[in-house]
C-alpha cells in the first residue's frame, strides 16, 4: 500500500466510467476549484461493445450526448467532437438525428481519453467512511492499478456510483451457464463466431437488443438453410413509444412526479411502462419486415426458415440428450406447453443495476428500503445513517425511485448537473423549471366555484423533498 503523504480530499470521486459518470466528469472538469476524479478498472472506455453491430443506430437524438442538454457550449459536446474529427459537413448532409451506435461509442472514447479527471486501469476496491476531520467529512477510497497491482488510498468528500448494469440471465437458463452456444446478447459480437455450424438459432427477448441480433442473423443467413427463431414473452412485438408527447416521460418533470408517488405505485408503473423503455424501435422492426418481404419474393412466405413467436416464455432450458439444446416453453394465452429443440440461444434478456463489491464496507451505513434497494432523493443522493454525512450519489441505479428515464441517455447530462449542483451547494448549471407540456400530477384542490390549479414543477419538488 502506498504510504505517501495524503493529498487533499477530492470533492467528488466517481466509481466507474460509463456514459453517465463520463457526463458528470465532462460537466465537472471546467468548474473552477472543484477537484474530481473518476476511476474505472477497464483499460479504456467501452460501451456495449458486444452490440456495436453494423447498421445499429441509437434510439435517442444526437443531442443526448454528454453535455449538450445542459451546456451546449461545453467543449465535450458531440458537435465539437464532429468539428475535431472534421466530420461536421458529412454529418450535416447525412441528415440523421440518431447516430450509429459505433459513432456514439467513438465519441465517448474521444472524450474519455482527453478528460484529465478520468483514470482507466484503476479499480476502486473498497470504500470506507472515515468520518469528519479538520478538512470536513470524507471517505477513504482504496484504489488498485490493474496493470501493476500497486495499491493507493485517496480521500473524497462525495462519491458517485456509475458502475452500470449487468446482463440478466433468467433462472430458466441456469443449466446452460457456460455453454458455448448459450450466451447473452451483451457478448454477441465477441461470441458470434461460436454460432458457426449451428443449423437452428433462437433469439430470446423482445427489446432492441433482441431485434438487432435477429436482424443481424437474418442478414448473415439469407439462403443457407439455417433456421432462425425469435421468441418473446411479450404478447406482441410492439414498437417503443416514440410520439412527441409520449417522450415527455423522459423529462425532469416526469421524474419529479414519479418520485413523489408511493413506492408500490412506482413499482407497478415501471412494470406497466415496458413499451416506453424496453421495446424495440419501429425502424428496426420495419427493417426486419422489409428483409423478410424481399427474401420471399416469388415464393410462399412459409418457405423461409424463420419463426417469430411472441407470447411464449421459456420455463426451462438444458442440453438436449442428442446434442443441441432443449427449451421447455409455455404459450401465455393458451397455457399450452411444448419442447423446442435448437442448436444455439442468444439471450437478449436485459440488464439489471449492479452493486459494486467496493461498496460492502459502507453497506451497514446505507438506509436500504424494504427490498434491499437504495432510497434515493431527487438529487440522486442515497439515504444513509445519520453518522455518514458525506454525499453518496448513484447513476442508473434508481429506476424504482426516478422512473423510466433513469437509463435514458437523454437525461444523463441533466442528472449529472443536478448532482454537481448538490455537491457544490450552488447553481453550477442553471436548469429549467419546466421541461414538458404534459402535466402529470392531478390538479390541486380548489374551493367550490374556483378553477383547480395545476402544481408547478418546483412545488412538486418541494413536496417530494418534504416527504423524504
pLDDT band at 465; cut points 50, 70, 90:
very low
The stretches of 33-100 forming alpha helices (DSSP H) are: 78-84, 88-94
Pairing between strand 200-204 and 227-231?
parallel
pLDDT at res. 323: 83
User: Under CATH, which architecture does the 168-240+278-348 domain have?
Assistant: 3-Layer(bba) Sandwich (3.50)
Residue 405 has pLDDT above 90, yes or no: yes
The pTM of the full predicted model, rounded to 2 decimals, is 0.91
Query: 39 by DSSP, 3-state: which?
Result: strand
pLDDT band at 448; cut points 50, 70, 90:
low
pLDDT at res. 136: 75
pLDDT at res. 454: 54
Mean pLDDT throughout 108-123? 98
pLDDT at res. 444: 77
Q: Smallest Cα–Cα separation from 377: which of 365, 367, 387, 363?
A: 367
Q: Smallest Cα–Cα separation from 144: which of 161, 156, 126?
A: 126
Residue 331 has pLDDT above 70, yes or no: yes
pLDDT at res. 451: 60
Question: Which one is predicted more confidently, 106 or 447?
Answer: 106
Residue 417 has pLDDT above 80, yes or no: yes
Quote the CA–CA distance of 170 and 235 in Å, as a whole number: 18
**Tens digits of residue pLDDT in 353-395:** 889 999 999 999 999 999 999 999 999 999 999 999 999 999 9
Query: In percent, how much of the chain has pLDDT > 90?
Result: 84
Mean pLDDT throughout 23-47? 97
**Tens digits of residue pLDDT in 280-321:** 999 999 999 999 999 999 989 888 899 999 999 999 999 998
Mean pLDDT throughout 75-100? 96
User: Under CATH, which architecture does the 12-164+354-424 domain have?
Assistant: 3-Layer(bba) Sandwich (3.50)
Mean pLDDT throughout 28-52? 96
Q: Smallest Cα–Cα separation from 14: which of 133, 164, 151?
A: 164
pLDDT at res. 452: 57
Task: Encode 265-283: b = buried (16+ Cβ within 10 Å), e = exposed.
Answer: ebeebbeeebbbbbbbbee
Q: Do domains 12-164+354-424 and 168-240+278-348 have the same CATH topology?
A: yes
Amino acid at each position: 500500500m502506498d504510504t505517501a503523504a495524503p493529498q487533499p480530499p477530492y470533492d467528488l470521486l466517481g466509481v466507474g466510467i460509463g456514459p453517465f459518470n463520463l457526463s458528470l466528469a465532462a460537466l465537472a472538469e471546467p468548474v473552477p476549484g472543484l477537484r474530481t476524479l473518476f476511476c474505472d478498472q477497464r483499460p479504456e472506455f467501452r460501451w456495449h461493445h458486444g452490440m456495436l453491430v453494423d447498421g445499429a443506430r441509437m434510439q435517442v437524438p444526437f443531442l443526448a450526448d454528454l453535455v449538450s442538454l445542459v451546456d451546449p457550449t461545453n467543449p465535450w459536446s458531440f458537435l465539437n467532437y464532429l468539428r475535431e474529427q472534421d466530420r461536421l459537413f458529412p454529418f450535416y448532409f447525412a441528415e440523421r438525428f440518431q447516430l450509429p451506435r459505433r459513432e456514439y461509442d467513438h465519441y465517448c472514447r474521444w472524450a474519455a481519453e482527453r478528460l484529465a479527471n478520468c483514470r482507466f486501469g484503476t479499480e476502486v476496491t473498497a470504500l470506507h467512511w472515515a468520518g469528519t476531520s479538520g478538512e470536513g467529512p470524507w471517505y477513504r477510497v482504496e484504489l488498485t492499478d490493474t496493470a501493476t497491482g500497486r495499491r493507493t488510498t485517496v480521500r473524497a468528500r462525495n462519491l458517485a456510483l456509475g458502475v452500470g448494469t449487468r446482463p440478466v440471465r433468467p433462472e430458466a437458463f441456469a443449466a446452460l451457464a457456460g455453454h458455448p452456444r448459450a450466451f447473452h446478447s451483451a457478448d454477441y459480437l465477441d461470441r458470434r463466431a461460436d454460432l458457426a455450424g449451428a443449423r437452428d438459432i433462437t433469439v430470446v427477448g423482445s427489446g432492441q437488443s433482441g431485434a438487432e441480433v435477429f436482424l443481424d442473423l437474418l442478414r448473415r443467413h439469407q439462403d443457407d438453410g439455417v433456421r432462425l427463431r425469435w421468441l418473446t414473452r411479450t404478447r406482441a412485438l410492439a414498437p417503443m413509444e416514440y410520439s412527441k408527447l409520449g417522450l415527455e416521460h423522459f423529462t425532469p418533470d416526469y421524474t419529479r412526479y414519479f418520485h413523489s408517488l408511493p413506492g408500490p405505485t412506482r413499482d407497478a408503473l415501471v412494470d406497466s411502462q415496458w413499451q416506453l423503455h424496453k421495446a424495440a424501435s419501429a425502424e428496426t422492426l420495419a427493417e426486419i419486415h422489409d428483409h423478410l418481404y424481399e427474401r420471399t419474393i416469388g415464393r410462399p412466405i412459409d418457405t423461409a426458415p424463420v419463426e417469430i413467436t411472441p407470447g411464449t416464455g421459456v420455463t426451462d432450458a438444458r442440453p438436449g440428450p442428442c446434442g443441441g439444446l432443449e427449451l421447455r416453453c409455455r404459450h401465455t394465452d393458451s397455457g399450452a406447453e411444448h419442447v423446442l429443440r435448437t442448436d444455439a440461444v442468444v439471450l437478449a434478456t436485459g440488464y439489471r443495476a449492479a452493486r459494486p463489491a467496493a461498496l460492502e464496507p459502507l453497506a451497514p451505513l446505507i438506509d436500504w428500503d424494504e427490498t434491499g434497494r437504495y432510497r434515493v432523493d431527487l438529487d440522486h443522493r442515497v439515504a444513509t445513517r445519520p453518522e455518514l454525512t458525506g454525499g453518496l450519489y448513484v447513476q442508473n441505479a434508481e429506476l424504482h425511485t426516478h422512473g423510466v428515464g433513469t437509463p435514458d441517455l437523454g437525461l444523463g447530462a441533466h442528472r449529472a448537473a443536478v448532482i454537481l449542483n448538490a455537491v457544490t451547494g450552488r447553481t453550477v448549471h442553471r436548469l429549467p423549471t419546466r421541461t414538458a407540456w404534459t402535466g402529470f400530477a392531478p390538479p390541486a384542490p380548489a374551493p367550490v366555484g374556483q378553477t383547480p390549479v395545476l402544481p408547478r414543477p418546483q412545488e412538486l419538488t418541494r413536496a417530494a423533498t418534504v416527504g423524504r
